[in-house]
Structure 1
Amino acid sequence: MHHLSEHQHVVRIHDTYEDKSCVHIVMELCEGGELFDRIVKKGNYSEREAAKLMKTIVGVVECCHSLGVFHRDLKPENFLFLSVDEDAALKATDFGLSVFYKPDEVFSDVVGSPYYVAPEVLRKHYGPEADVWSAGVILYILLSGVPPFWAETEIGIFRQILEGKIDFESEPWPNISESAKDLIRKMLDQNPKRRLTAHEVLCHPWIVDDKVAPDKPLDSAVLSRLKHFSAMNKLKKMALRVIAERLNEEEIGGLKELFKMIDTDNSGTITFDELKDGLKRVGSQLMESEIKDLMDAVRKIFSRFSIKTYCNLSL
């Protein structure tokens, strides 16, 4: 990150300290929230605004690759706004999986986040082209509100990625410009050798020419889906956080028993009140407002948790 910290869209490291057990990193404070949250809060945006965001994201990728840095975990959660100001800079963060690479070097360890991982990563034979794939997934979500490869389970998502079929038929794609779809196809090319480089993405007409990306607001359904998708990711992270903090390996194997403990009326579902009380019983320090905000965000998806949902979130 020291190599990248002078880039205007990369979070800066101010200092580092080391003690007997940890390395402490003092980083630039980003108070403006995550990328998707900002878009949803604004209430509307257009292809042209999405193009500007993509220019920033891929600009970071190009800078990384020019310095021989492979990010390996590009996703919307790793892009934060510096402040709440409308014109605040968007900053890339979380370089925990990043590595230096040499030309033609091949990696084999499977890393990254399920929705954004490239097919060659799953095949355990990949290079920095995988960063462009991840950026292409982000672009698809920015314009539609949902990921291009979707399934109920992680294995199902991986199968969809390997199959590589991209849906441009469903709403809102008939109303999205052909130039945007052309860019996505070229960023999500199954063959990493044919896939656009970061520099080529930045030279694409949809990115370069303001007249190509329409300034017309996208359908409100896109924002609604984006809100739901973001909320589901937050829900999963919070569920895993509580489990990771409170359960040992033996207890993790007994998730169904924990569910039954929280499900006090034995209905097979968990309501908000049951979840709140259950989290308190296992010692969670989450505030009620945090739990309520989370449940409010996802109430349009479901109003109660089922045991199937709970176990899926824990995987």
Structure 2
Amino acid sequence: SENGIFNAILKSHVDFSGKPWPSISHQAKDLVRRMLNPDPKRRLTAAQVLSHPWIKEDGEAPDTPLDNAVLSRLKQFKAMNQFKKVALKVIAGCLSEEEIRGLKEMFKAMDTDNSGTITLEELRRGLAKQGTKLSEYEVKQLMEAADADGNGTIDYDEFITATMHMNRMDREEHLYHAFQHFDKDNSGYITTEELEQALREYGINDSTDIKQILSEVDADNDGRINYDEFVAMMKKGNPEPNPKKRRDVVV
């Protein structure tokens, strides 16, 4: 009843055990908990609500071992060129704990033997729990795409890199940080040599790959990648953000 809800709020008792709360993200529940703090001095102001990570970061709930959003990101990751995958790894490395909390919990849920890696079988089970019907070949393709070092398992860094929310790429600071990582001499360009060095660091030594990347990314055909070309590569194929998305539905 309304009186019961009112009294529960007064007593600062927020019950997250019933539906739909088990499938709601920790960030969303944290926001609700802070908004309902009975102490006015500790309760969030409107400005603080707007600055909360769940509002700012578009956090998502790992309500199943591998939800549809993350599966979609894995498929997008599979289609990316090697340089974009390496750039994503750089961006993933500078994300805050708050930004990847949901993915961290999902990784733990899938890593059923607590080995610190996700095996092919664990990935297969995670997909099955979601009700996703993929062939054995498709599951192996996803595994191979995320398994950057090719050791047959997906470690934590590889999982975050392959599944992080694509809105991270729309952030100027993340893109610029990644570009600077590759532009070793601060020339404002990523040269062929710098591209080779970046890929070599991640075990990619195929000159054919480098030529293909340059032909795809180097729009002005000057043999190097400038910042605008780098940003265009990173944003290519990313779903457009939907400003009308209801925050009370997707958590």
**Greater RCO between the two (CA within 8 Å, min separation 6)?**
2
Normalized per residue, the structure richer in strand is 1
